[in-house]
Chain A
Amino acid sequence: MNDPYSVLGVSPSASDDEVKKAYRDLARKYHPDNYHDNPLADLASEKMKEINEAYDAITKSREQGGSSGAGGYGYGYAYQSQARQQSTGSNAQYVQIRNLINANNLAQAEAMLNAIPTHDAEWYYLMGSVCWRKGWMDQAGQYFRTASTMEPGNVEYRNAVQYMNQGGQAYRPAGAGMGDMMGGDAACNLCQNLICADCCCEMFGGNLIPCIGCR
């Protein structure tokens, strides 16, 4: 493993608070919410693992060395897989397409979708997912909306439309200004996004806001 201090970008003489702050900043940077259904999510996840290990190593060595230690500061910004949920009614072909999308094999997923003659709500959702991964955000939104209109009760489709409409989220360094591409206030959007993301998390049994607020 690399030197844990250089991973966190602090000197070995840094105080516990400085180490903690550096860790927090990096954890915010590589947080899975910034890589929602993103083709680079694997690289961000590796980075997250690296900084978690570095923080853990520093905390342990300081505890053993009699230093005050970071004191129970957890390092578990767990990286949840963003694999698509398998909806219960899915036919075998859709399962295969979902796997292809998760493996980033978009060309094949798109070809398989195009070969399906009848288009139900799941077809539109999966086509939207392919477009999203390709970076065709406008068409992705159109497909997600169609899927959700066809099957208004489906949580997965509704979440996709919601995420699309609210503009998602990305890491911004502290003091990087307030403007965003939507002409709004980024800090305000961030709160909104956190609340939305928290609702999504809770739906799957997790909880996002305490995991940022309390650590």
Chain B
Amino acid sequence: MYGYVRPVKGELKVSEFERFRGVYCGLCHELARRYGFAARFLVNYDFTFLAMLLAQPGPAVTCPRRCPAHPLKKTECLSGCDSLSMAADMTVILGWWKLADGGEDKSFPASWGYKAACGILKSAYKKAAGRQPVFAAATEQNLKALQALEKANCPSMDEAADKFALILRAAGTAIDGEKGRVLSELLYHLGRIIYILDAADDLAEDIKTDSYNSLRYRFRPTEEGKLSEEDQRTIRVSLQHSHNALAGAYALMGDNIYSSILSNTIYLGLPAATQAVFSGTWKTNGRIQRERSIS
């Protein structure tokens, strides 16, 4: 969805990279299997991370598969596992609401594109919401609350980020007991980090198009969307505390076969993405690397 939550490829072993690709491609296949071809376009790194995080200990079942993006070579894809199905359901739910949100926010002709995509995925969304009613309700409720904050030009970075964080947190509440508690805390802070990074990355553009951005009202950016060093430090300290909370929760999760990839994503990937956003290179280098990192 945003691409900030991904491992640093250069630090992965070849076997780890293949395992990671197996989950990403597996999620794409699972989306197609459960929700039809169009749902494939919603595949993203954030929910690939969730699928790995939710995976049970023990070996994974994979099978070689071809797809339209890689028609010549088969990829060993993760398949038939509950965490993958759950991640696919949640991908469709959040993806659909993001499209619906875009349909309302954007102006013509972009809004029509969003509305058309929403229409195509409507039946997939209904099916997914039936399978994950708690997550669907939390997504709808918090995105609406976020819209209301946007309309009121909410000056609190925490309050705006809280709504998005609560959506991800809801994915953790689907798990019972202690693990669910740990997962909820981890996902809350992951959501908070994603939201704030996205706000920092979009700041210049949002000021140009006069759109809402929580950092615009919380801090005093220039007209070009630049933040003072002190403001940047305030944001990064806040991100650091969320990262600490995330790492603290992650340490309490049991190991599975994706642990080394998850550790890479948390300890290297998130700081690297943050560095790229604040140095202004995310939009250029980051996006290119994102395209290249999987195919």
Contacts and interface: CB of A to CB of B under 8 A. Distances in A.
A180 B268 contact: no
Nearest to B270: A181
Contact of B158 (A30, A35, A131, A177): A131
Interface stretch (B80-88, B91-99, B244-252): B244-252
Interface string A110-148: 000000000000000000000100111111010000000
A165 B182 CA distance: 26
A40 interface: yes
A170 B248 contact: yes
Which of B182, B189, B248 has the most C-beta atoms of chain A within 10 angstroms of its own C-beta? B248
A181 B197 CA distance: 11
A176 interface: yes
A35 to B, nearest CB: 6
A38 B243 contact: no
B247 A171 contact: yes
Contacts, number: 109
Interface stretch (B111-119, B132-140, B231-239): B231-239
B240 A168 contact: yes
Contact of A182 (B162, B189, B236): B236
A210 B192 CA distance: 36
Contacts of B245: 38, 135, 170
B268 A182 contact: no
A135 B243 CA distance: 11
Interface string A163-180: 011011111110011011
A179 B237 contact: no
Contact of B11 (A40, A177, A181, A182): A177
A34 interface: yes
A40 B275 contact: no
B121 interface: no
A20 interface: no
B48 interface: no
A81 B24 CA distance: 42
A158 interface: no
Contacts of B157: 138
A43 B182 contact: yes
A49 interface: no
Given A135-B165, A170-B243, A40 B248 contact: yes
Contacts of A131: 158
Interface in B266-287: 267-268, 270-272, 274-275, 278
B158 A139 contact: yes
Nearest to A131: B158
Interface string B48-65: 000000000000000000
Nearest to B191: A135
A170 B268 contact: no
Contacts of A40: 181-182, 185, 248-249, 252
B231 to A, nearest CB: 11
Top-7 shortest CB links A-B: A136-B158, A170-B244, A179-B271, A170-B247, A176-B267, A167-B240, A181-B240
27 contacts: A34-B248, A38-B248, A40-B182, A43-B182, A44-B248, A135-B162, A136-B158, A136-B162, A137-B238, A138-B157, A138-B238, A139-B156, A141-B238, A170-B245, A171-B247, A176-B263, A177-B11, A177-B271, A179-B271, A179-B272, A179-B275, A181-B193, A181-B236, A182-B240, A183-B236, A183-B275, A183-B278
Interface of A: 29-30, 34-35, 38-40, 43-44, 47, 131, 134-139, 141, 164-165, 167-173, 176-177, 179-183
Given A38-B248, A138-B157, 19 more contacts: A39-B185, A40-B182, A43-B178, A47-B252, A135-B192, A135-B242, A137-B237, A137-B238, A137-B241, A139-B158, A141-B238, A165-B237, A168-B240, A170-B244, A171-B251, A177-B267, A177-B268, A179-B272, A181-B243
